[in-house]
Structure 1
């Protein structure tokens, strides 16, 4: 056990320290005592006083009389002269590093144009970004007049009175109609949450709504319109399903219905369908479309309402369902009003053009030479459409599912032993080939044969040219080198033959039509194939006051993906 440290004692026995009151005596008492400096420099040089102190505790008693003389390796304080010299050197080093020691008036004059040019270039870049991101902003600040459309016939002096708090401004836009994405941006300005707030679908009577300023229109302009804008963002059938509902809204509100194809990538609307101003004239037959700068996407109560696949979610979601579904029915029965609205639009408003009607009639005529009775329509969607529930190889619904459903329909609705015709449509030629091979191998002669037909197998070169050359991917459609108008005609012919749409255009006696349709609900062609069958045959004579589930053994519209697992088993359109 180590001894307790002893107090400091006088090491010089020859001195008289009895007089403790004398200052000299006190000083002499510590004259030869070695004291440890308590400074950081000393600690760094000699390991710190802690080490010395601990070492002293471990020494033997006979070492206590030894005197260790220690001196710091460096002075504790630095000369002020050294500080001044070092500061001056440091300042010179900084100036040399920054190059300030070489700056001269001649150098500044030489490089000033370069600096000025960089500043001007940066300013021009800033202006360019502002003009790109916010068109019309620069013109607004400099007081310039923003040009309107060259063909605009509106008068700037005759503006209808609009409450400034309700005014929708298009001051930042110079081109009309707006891009579809710009319309959806305007909707988000009014409804940042991405949907319209709960309210009556058409608003309260007498309550003013937001709108743009309306100029005095040319004589004969439609007074109130609903326009569907095609943009090519979604597939043809998806657009048609939305158009069917928007056209029904125009009929209900007694407003003129129009279709805008300014940004469509499939040609003109009239290349494929009749002008809707002829098929659905509205309250003002032959009226002129309103100025495109007066079209508004949100809210829908405006004078000239425009809808596209981007903005449909603001208008055809929960509020639409609450307004137009049957609130007193259950499940699929709730959608019967929407089903009937789609059926009316598909038969009256959306009519194939003269050219497409001829192609549909030619296809039905060739099909009629092979059979004398009705047939089964099969649509197999591939490409960018994956299965939701029944996934097979590569994520698609297996071909076997289509074949098995066709066999079941043949047993239920067709006479045993007769030959049954199946019209097969698909965006993927390989899927058609696989179906034809599998269906021919799976049926025995005693149950009757199944014969298939498709555009690929047509004897007419003009019809074969309409067949899809490869699986359809919407994102790649714009980059295709094939004739997009011709490809679109092929889709329309396939849709007509699979579903039975526009029967009167190709078969006056109505004998050649599908008795049943097999498809996948994720495809809009599949959704549009149900209305031509009519409500009861499509879903199996459901009890109107029952639970609203389709009767699988009786229904003739058959989805082979979800198979009714999702309620409701059918819907009128897809949301994007």
Structure 2
């Protein structure tokens, strides 16, 4: 068998310098390798002169091949020490090294931002643009405003301006940024002025929000004042429903604060955003900036589940309604009349009643099964009949609604005369407080705007009566302010206890109705639920929230 032709290097492959003289490559066998390594003699005369000792498939230009010194006449130390080779290796791994360092820096920055918010901003010394709020010297510019206090929508504009210009901040709800926070100018008060050092003020609206929805937000503002050690105040200058003291007691009666009797600050010192301002003002329009996700994270019970997460917020609201938000003497007398009529239906001592609220008007439903339409009367009827079947004795019912047709449909279907409503009350004073039947669509917020047709048609006395009727309904539907009534002119009242409430969650009155029951009775104890919501029926988490926010800009 003839010897195969030796392999030669092609033009596409260039041998290293130390193999230039060894261009002939011969295929190797295990026998040839054995002979070379162990010094066996060439019995058949097949051994060539120069032999390569590496596998044929390994490139002779590889670094590992050159590193192994197999031939005593090959010296590649100069090749290994060439600077160009080392430079190529550095360039090859440089991007990987830079990415590793950058990832480490970002990781450290994220950890620092999470553990100590504001520290990076402080050390980086962020510079704001010229038209930004001056965070460094704590000045909020009101030079383009001429009348104080501002209107609710104007304070909302100031909040939008603040959050557009202030640097992002992700600290705790009340933590102070390392580079300070914005505030209005506070000139030194006059001597002996007895001005409050720190205040939280609620600015009543009425134009864009209903009465109960506004009271629910106000309850949280009063809770903030208790928590922060600030004096709680109310301003009714822009309230289109009258004066606060026309329906309620002064808030300082139930919540005097740390400086009883102190005077409010000048209105130009009120600031809606940020909430760290010395004299913080809250409106329904600015509540969305303070009572959103960060509020829930700060005030919900993070260790509880379901509705129990809402308990701290529930207790804040309940305490405010029993303290800072209390009806005045005139409203309490009207509430007493309604309770007396309700007690007369079932004179048994210690009796209880069921409250049913039917919201019509501009309120829809939450459950998908109703497709946004109002919950039908049949749902109310079925729920009341179930309660009657489970109760050993009949109970009176208080019905509150903005629709006379809804009340008529419910009472007709129940076939009972043991109920009280403002519209059907035996007392003419209570009947005059019922929402006008001339509004067949029920309560519409647009009717209560200053430009609304109904608002302009009603006289001041009519608007006042309708407001009084809303408060009487709220008291009887929720069971709030029961202990504040005391004796009525007719003698000592045998007040009935609210045992169950039936309502739909899309109405803020339904949310407030839970507060008079107490948390355990409202949301579950050994006897079950006393707050019966018939719209979503527990299908949405959380099943109850203390307030509803407006996100309209």
Residue from 357, 360, 364 that aligns with 1:386: 364
Residue in 2 that maps onto 1:405? 383
Separation in 1, partners of 2:217, 2:535:
22
Residue in 2 that maps onto 1:317? 292
Residue in 1 that maps onto 2:445? 474
Separation in 2, partners of 1:249, 1:178:
21
Separation in 2, partners of 1:567, 1:171:
45
Tell me, yes or no, if structure 1 residue 503 matches structure 2 residue 482.
yes
Aligned length: 394
Residue in 1 that maps onto 2:235? 260
Quick check: 1:227–1:258 contact (8 Å CA) kept in 2?
yes
Separation in 1, partners of 2:516, 2:477:
10
Residue in 2 that maps onto 1:224? 198
Alpha-carbon shift at residue 391 of structure 1 (Å): 6.0
SS for the counterpart of 1:457 is coil
SS for the counterpart of 1:533 is coil
Tell me, yes or no, if structure 1 residue 168 matches structure 2 residue 140.
yes
Q: Relative to structure 1, is the Cα distance of residues 311 and 393 closer, same or farther in structure 2, using a 3 angstrom cutoff?
A: closer
Residue in 2 that maps onto 1:523? 507
Alpha-carbon shift at residue 256 of structure 1 (Å): 0.2
Render the CA deviation track for 1:139-185: whole Å, top value 9, x for unaligned.
xxxxxxxxxxxxxxxxxxxxxxx976421010001110111111111
Higher helix share: 1
Residue in 1 that maps onto 2:160? 188
Separation in 1, partners of 2:482, 2:332:
10
Alpha-carbon shift at residue 384 of structure 1 (Å): 0.2
Tell me, yes or no, if structure 1 residue 557 matches structure 2 residue 536.
no
- Matched ranges for 1:437-476 at <5 A: 437-440=412-415, 451-469=418-436, 470=439, 471-476=442-447
Residue from 342, 345, 348 that aligns with 2:323: 348
Q: Relative to structure 1, is the Cα distance of residues 181 and 262 closer, same or farther in structure 2, using a 3 angstrom cutoff?
A: same
Alpha-carbon shift at residue 254 of structure 1 (Å): 0.6
Quick check: 1:390–1:561 contact (8 Å CA) kept in 2?
no
- Matched ranges for 1:45-56 at <5 A: none
Quick check: 2:342–2:419 contact (8 Å CA) kept in 1?
no
Separation in 2, partners of 1:371, 1:194:
61
Separation in 1, partners of 2:448, 2:167:
29
Q: Relative to structure 1, is the Cα distance of residues 438 and 393 closer, same or farther in structure 2, using a 3 angstrom cutoff?
A: farther
Residue segments in structure 2 that go unaligned for 5+ positions in a row: 1-133, 488-492
Separation in 2, partners of 1:558, 1:393:
21
Separation in 2, partners of 1:510, 1:496:
16
Residue in 1 that maps onto 2:186? 214
- Matched ranges for 1:190-205 at <5 A: 190-192=162-164, 197-204=169-176
Quick check: 1:188–1:194 contact (8 Å CA) kept in 2?
no
Render the CA deviation track for 1:196-252: whole Å, top value 9, x for unaligned.
843211123876311011112241111100001111120000011111111011001
Render the CA deviation track for 1:489-511: whole Å, top value 9, x for unaligned.
10000010111110013357774
Quick check: 1:326–1:337 contact (8 Å CA) kept in 2?
yes
Separation in 1, partners of 2:494, 2:512:
19
Alpha-carbon shift at residue 353 of structure 1 (Å): 1.0
Moved more, 475-484 or 258-267: 475-484
Residue in 1 that maps onto 2:523? 539
Render the CA deviation track for 1:97-116: whole Å, top value 9, x for unaligned.
xxxxxxxxxxxxxxxxxxxx
Separation in 2, partners of 1:164, 1:500:
49
Separation in 2, partners of 1:245, 1:203:
19
Q: Relative to structure 1, is the Cα distance of residues 177 and 496 closer, same or farther in structure 2, using a 3 angstrom cutoff?
A: same
Quick check: 1:390–1:397 contact (8 Å CA) kept in 2?
no
Q: Relative to structure 1, is the Cα distance of residues 293 and 391 closer, same or farther in structure 2, using a 3 angstrom cutoff?
A: same
Separation in 1, partners of 2:203, 2:135:
28
State the TM-score, normalizing by the size of structure 1: 0.66
RMSD in angstroms over aligned alpha carbons? 2.2
Residue in 2 that maps onto 1:91? none
Moved more, 512-521 or 469-478: 469-478
SS for the counterpart of 1:489 is helix
Residue segments in structure 1 that go unaligned for 5+ positions in a row: 1-161, 441-448, 543-552
SS for the counterpart of 1:342 is helix
Quick check: 2:365–2:372 contact (8 Å CA) kept in 1?
no
Higher Cα Rg, which structure: 1
Separation in 2, partners of 1:247, 1:394:
33
Residue from 270, 274, 280 that aligns with 1:299: 274
State the TM-score, normalizing by the size of structure 2: 0.68
Separation in 2, partners of 1:406, 1:174:
55
Residue in 2 that maps onto 1:308? 283
Q: Relative to structure 1, is the Cα distance of residues 257 and 196 closer, same or farther in structure 2, using a 3 angstrom cutoff?
A: farther
